[in-house]
Amino acid sequence: MVKITIKDLSFSYGSRRILDELNFVVGDSEVLSLVGPNGSGKTTLIKCIDRILKPKGAILLNGGRNLESLSRQEVAKLIGYVPQSTTGVLTTTVFDTILMGRKPHMGWRVSDEDIDKVVDIMKLLHVEEFALKDYSELSGGQKQRVLIARALCQEPEVLLLDEPTSNLDVKHQLEVMETVRSLVKKTRISAVMAIHDLNLAARYSDSLVMLKDGKVHAIGDPLSLLTKDNIRSIFGVEAVVMRDLDRPYVVPISSLKGEAV
């Protein structure tokens, strides 16, 4: 079953074309990763899907609902967005930070249902032990889990993540990626994430969309897409690609002069 259809999607900043006629689908209960060099349009595409930016073309949910026809509040009930980092410093508690995700569903006051939802999500993400801590006091991995929890409190059908492992050490990278994949399979939502690390993308994604210069270069499963030729063409890098546990593992060898990296 198709969860999202991206159809003829383009976006420009003034005369500068960032995304150029993109077409692909995201399946139900699927983790899809956007990979490509800096400037390929990954973050812009994430923001277009969340309607932070207004692209040309169509973004259809469940095969029919065009997100352009929905209000901001309606979109927030369907799509949860996890940014690279929060703007500024959140001085609220972890509980209150996650409660912010209930805003699209809340009336004038916080209901028992809202509180119960926050408690359930905190348990699911294993952050209940520091519910009363200030968000600013948490480690990088803990902060990412809290931001994911906040997005899940929106009860979305689609989770968007922009570089969820940036600035995290190896342990916290694995923790966040395992959390995302587990949630997708357990709750049957779909996830679209922009990610730099090809090996994390290969290990935790069902499918990849390779972007270059704002265009789709290739779409498919990690094993078929992460080849030496594709990595050379997209990233301007010579690499060795090995296979382990039915997943590709990329070892960069050298950059190619005159190519994007």
Let me know if 244 is exposed, middle or buried by CB neighbors in 10 A (0-12, 13-18, 19+): exposed
Domain boundaries, given as residue ranges, for the chain = 2-87+156-255
Residue 108 has pLDDT above 80, yes or no: no
Q: For residues 97-121, give the mean pLDDT.
A: 87
Within 10 angstroms of residue 72's Cβ, the number of other Cβ atoms is: 9
Residue 241 has pLDDT above 90, yes or no: yes
Say what percent of the chain tops pLDDT 70.
Answer: 95
- For the entire predicted model, the pTM comes to 0.89
What tens digit of pLDDT does each residue of 164-177 get? 888 788 888 888 89
Predicted local distance difference test score (pLDDT) of residue 261? 42
Predicted local distance difference test score (pLDDT) of residue 71? 87
Using DSSP bridges, classify how beta strands 190-194 and 158-162 pair: parallel, antiparallel or unpaired.
parallel
CB 201 within 8 A of CB 195: yes
In this predicted model, which residue has the larger pLDDT, 49 or 83?
Answer: 49
C-alpha–C-alpha distance, residues 261 and 257, integer Å: 9
CB 94 within 8 A of CB 100: no
What tens digit of pLDDT does each residue of 68-94 get? 888 888 888 899 999 876 555 567 899
Q: Give the confidence band of 234 by pLDDT, cuts at 50, 70, 90.
A: very high
CB 199 within 8 A of CB 250: yes
What 3-state DSSP class applies to 208? strand
Q: Does domain 2-87+156-255 have CATH number 3.40.50.300?
A: yes
